[in-house]
Structure 1
Amino acid sequence: MTGIEGVWIEFLVRAGATAFVVIFIAWAAARFNSLVGGVLVGLPIVLGPAFFFMTLEHEPPFVAETAAGALYSLTATQAFLAFYIIAAGRLSAVGATLAAAIAWVATALPLAFAPHPLPAGVALFVLVTIGLRIALKRFVPASTPPASASRWPLLVLRGVAAGLLVGAVTLAASGLGPSLAGILVSFPIGFCAILLSLNLDHGAAIATKTAYAGLVGVSSLAAFCLTLATTAGITAPWAGFTLGLGASLVVTALCGLLMRGRPALR
């Protein structure tokens, strides 16, 4: 397989995975509840394919460094969710999404050019996550109205559009160094499409509660990136990737059980 073929295969896989996750999670959050959507969105369905092909095409040190950069970018994802939670009840669906995206860029760019030691990245993510969960609780509605019927044609269209955008990011990231690549592949395109769809189709309250649950759900992505960054250079390449996926699944399950058993955390 040539390098060009590999990039286009990655384009198709990531685009397809993103389209699926946007459609499925937007439906699940409306059909079941925002907790389900917020927890599931942390699964590495989008990041996983990116690092699968990266593991296939690059040396372990590059993969480890990119995963470390991606871990730092998840702090920017938390900033994205925070600004969305604050803005959703005050701006239009599109306006809230744009405000959150601007917050992500403003946070991610400085992190992209900073050193990426893993202990500091973990500490930063944990402190930001806990702080935002406490500070933003007052912006989350206590109850939500019943979800309306899903608008499947529009939902599928948004999912496909998000998938194509992720594919385009894949092509752009392929020529960058590990730090910038890790930041770029972590841009929350899936969150943008999911929250926009929920807000437009079911209202700001459901979208806000999903974003608030997502602050915890992102922990599974952090577990994936941390495990991969730690093991990529010291184990067989695919062993590190598999361990990262396993860690992500375990954290997702724990987050779901913890939040389900303790309503105060929702």
Structure 2
Amino acid sequence: MSDAGQWTEFAIRAASTAFVVVFVAWIAARLGPTIGGVVIGLPIVLAPGFFFMLREHSADFVAASASGAIFSLAATQIFLGAFVVASTRLGAAGATAAAIAAWCVLAIPLAFVPHDPFVGTALFALTTLLARLVGRRFVDPDRRAPSPARWSLLILRGIAAGMLVGCVTFAASRLGASLAGTLLAFPIGFCVILLSLRLDHGAEIAGQTAHAGLVGVVSLAGFCLALAVTSQTIGQWQAFGAALLASLAITIALTVIAQRRPT
């Protein structure tokens, strides 16, 4: 890829991440943590990374990377569960650091095992169930009125997250398919979203959003599974489109379900 193409990739990844960080943090504060947690599942961070990967690599590479991302998303569920627990005991930085450590404990070993997409999906389902059950004990069901958003700080955090994601994009394509998928699915966006919510709106809203996010991440898993399974059969770009549609359909279904639940 030319220097101009690399900088374009960096800018799009950085901008998309910054947008989703700011948007989801605002959604969680305005419309409630449940909807915010569902919106987290949109592949606004993952999709640009795989878009550029499709332009540079073969269908085999993309399928393997998507399979690796599913295993990484299983670790993301542990990340979210750990944040829910740690947020009740630690400050914003401490809770985020504890969640990252929990992700590393699971994701690093999983990066070096065979990445069958269906095995990864089963592992994802298991970690989702466990994290939901454990996290439920630490989530306060009562809603609290959020404080006003501090837009200047939130935008700066979004930009910082975008810069980090742009750097990850450059590194991922040089690490091989499995590690690339693992690294692309590292929850950088989650880190900044939850850190911002914890700092600006308190432990309760941040914890509720993280717990709801365990369901929202199902959309990301659906995106990666569709891409892993179909990349080598229907063509890379058709698979990418199918993965986006699958993720969007899951998010819409989860949003409808969340809105119908009694508050």
TM-score interval for Structure 1 and Structure 2 normalised by the shorter chain: over 0.9
* Residue 105 of structure 1: how far off its partner (Å): 1.0
Q: Partners in 1 of 2:137 and 2:198 — Cα distance?
A: 19
1:54 equivalent in structure 2: 53
Letter in 1 for 2:135: L
Distance apart, 1:261 and its partner CA: 2.4
User: Any conservation in 2 of the 1:224–1:244 contact (CA below 8 Å)?
Assistant: yes
The SS at the match of 1:136 is helix
Instruction: Please give the residue correspondences for 1:1-266 in structure 2 after superposition, counting only pairs within 5 Å.
Output: 2-263=1-262
Amino acid across the alignment from 2:23: F
Shift of 1:234: 0.7
Return the letter of the residue paired with 2:106: T
Q: Which runs of 5+ in 1 are unaligned?
A: none
Aligned amino acid, residue 246 of structure 2: A
State how many pairs are aligned.
263
CA distance in structure 2 between the partners assigned to 1:247 and 1:136 by the alignment: 27
- Retained in 1: the 8 A contact 2:93–2:195? yes
Structure 1 stretches (4+) deviating beyond 6 angstroms? none
TM-score, L = length of structure 2: 0.97
Task: Output the amino acid matched with 1:215.
Answer: L
Counterparts of 1:53 and 1:3 in 2: how far apart (Å)?
A: 13
Deviation string, structure 1 residues 99-143 (Cα, Å, up to 9, x no partner)? 001111111101100001122111111121122212221110021
Q: Secondary structure at the match of 1:146?
A: coil
Equivalent residues of 2:81, 2:134 under 8 A apart: no
> How many angstroms apart in 1 are the aligned matches of 2:28 and 2:180?
30
Task: Give the letter aligned to residue 99 of structure 1.
Answer: A
Distance in 2, Cα, partners of 1:6 & 1:71: 27
Q: Give the Cα separation in 2 of the matches to 1:262 and 1:150.
A: 26
Deviations 1:131-161 (A, max 9, x none): 2212221110021321010000000000000
1:201-258 CA distance string (max 9 Å, x none): 0100000000000000000000000000000011121100000000000111111222
- Alpha-carbon contact 1:43-1:248 (below 8 Å) kept: yes
Please say if residues 18 and 159 of structure 2, whose CA atoms lie closer than 8 Å, have aligned partners that are also in contact: yes
Answer yes or no: is the 8 Å Cα contact 2:35–2:258 preserved in 1.
no
CA contact (8 A) 1:170 1:185 kept: yes
Check conservation: 1:7, 1:174, Cα contact below 8 A: no
Q: Which amino acid aligns with 2:200?
A: D
Identity of paired residues, percent?
55
The two structures have a TM-score, normalised by structure 1, of: 0.96
Cα RMSD (Å) of the superposition? 1.2
After TM superposition, give the deviation of residue 89 of structure 1 in Å: 1.1
Partner SS state of residue 140, structure 1: coil
